[in-house]
Amino acid sequence: MYMLFIVADTICALNISVGGGGYVAGSWSSLAPAVQSGYAAVSTDAGHRSNDSGDATSWALVSDGNVNQYLLLDFASRSIHDMTILGKAGCSTGGRQGMMEAQRYPDDYDGIVAAAPAINWNDFTPAQQWPFTVMNNEDYAPPQCEFDAVNAAAIAACDALDGLEDGIIAAPGLCSFDPASLIGNTYSCESDGSQRRFSNKTATVVKKIWQGPVTANGSSAWYGILPGTNFSSLAPTETFGNGTTVPQPFEISDSWYRNFLFKDPNYKTANISYAQFQALTLTSLTRSTTRLWGLADNLIMPNGTMHYYDQVAALDPAVGDFYRVFFTPGVGHCGGGSGPVPVDILMALRRWVENGTAPGLLEAASTYPINGTIRRQNLCPYPSISKYAGYGDPAKAASFACDSSF
């Protein structure tokens, strides 16, 4: 998970909007905690009353072959602004909604917290479909226990690159683990206790998934998931009783392809070739009339957030005065994992807005005990990193300090 702070230079209003996830624009169940904390809270359904966050079929097309541009625009930006005029952005789609507010309607909020934001939608949504396309084109779908074994090997190889062996790849940019090194080795499948052997196809599939989609000339089209990240979200597979394993699509990206690119909710995306995928990636960027805006995140590639921040920094070197990004090592999409999660983001944002005290550090703690202890670590604003000092209790925040690199 990655946290983003955006703040304007006005006084803070204690109103909170709650975003959604996937294709769902609002989250009514999340309003109660905000109200309980003393904030006015509001959410929106963006004009399409669907509870299915993974599939936009119920509202995507106004007729056969025609995208409902009005509802797509509502989902992208308009409903968020209208909701604000009437009334804390959330995580994932909620994070994207917060970022969209900051870009298009900067006067709507005095401060925004956007967690694991689904920005760069037209880029990363096709990239989410990449693992499914890879497995279909390579004619091999690894069982999830094989994916898990690859990740275990990657963590073993890259865990200590940050100076601390804690079961987390905190320096994924330094991890050069090659899955081809596993070819011929045996691994144990925890689901049935069987002993299996890594094949060439396993290495090819994993390497392509980590690499991410490429253009026709072989250059990167977008980012892949990082080594050590759970495969089961974007590369789900199903193993049958006869031992056959087949790939399954990720519902949100699959719906994007069927409904918004092919404009056919029944299109068989399993038939997409590498060449078609490359062309469709360009289609996602150019044909859609509405442009949507997103270290162990298993759904949204963290490198996309780095890319976004770097673009803002190139336009305004004083970016840290109004926008800060904090990466949380070992944390999955909107939470989960064994890494430290920010403790009180909203209060940190209030201090920034109301008192002008920008967060130099962000207090974080693991959500459950690790070896019987809650791990605490202060997170540092990107591009700096939170680095273990090399001594001291790794469960205490005092053992970490901000640095420029590992």
Contact between residue 41 and residue 33 where contact means Cβ atoms under 8 Å apart: no
The terminus-to-terminus CA distance of the chain in angstroms comes to: 20
CA distances from 37 to 84, 114, 142, 325, 388 (A): 19, 19, 46, 25, 34
Helix axes 274-286, 130-138, angle to 10 degrees: 160
* pLDDT exceeds 70 at position 225: yes
pLDDT of residue 181: 97
Which of the following is catalytic: 43, 74, 333, 366? 333
Average pLDDT over residues 26-32: 62
Confidence of residue 396 (pLDDT cuts 50, 70, 90): very high
- Structure tokens, 79: 């409903």
* pLDDT exceeds 90 at position 228: yes
Domains and CATH numbers, the chain: 15-120+288-358 (3.40.50), 123-283 (no CATH)
Question: Which of 132-136, 301-305, 335-339 has the lowest average pLDDT?
Answer: 335-339
Which of the following is catalytic: 17, 53, 92, 366? 92
Which of the following is catalytic: 43, 297, 366, 386? 297
Contact between residue 28 and residue 43 where contact means Cβ atoms under 8 Å apart: yes
Q: Give the phi and the psi of residue 386 in degrees, each rounded to 5.
A: -90, 115
Per-chain mean pLDDT for the chain: 83
Q: For 317, which DSSP code? A: T
* pLDDT exceeds 50 at position 85: no
Average pLDDT over residues 265-289: 82
Cα dihedral value 198, 203, 205, 211, nearest 10: 150
Confidence of residue 129 (pLDDT cuts 50, 70, 90): very high
For 350-378, what is each residue's pLDDT tens digit? 899 889 999 999 999 998 888 889 999 99
| Residue 92 annotated in active site | yes
Confidence of residue 43 (pLDDT cuts 50, 70, 90): low
For 152-188, what is each residue's pLDDT tens digit? 999 999 999 999 999 999 999 999 999 999 999 999 9
Q: Read off the pTM.
A: 0.80
Instruction: Tell me the one-letter amino acid at 341.
Output: V
Question: How many residues are recorded in the chain?
Answer: 406
Closest CA to 129 of 266, 277, 246: 277
For 338-357, what is each residue's pLDDT tens digit? 899 998 888 888 899 889 99
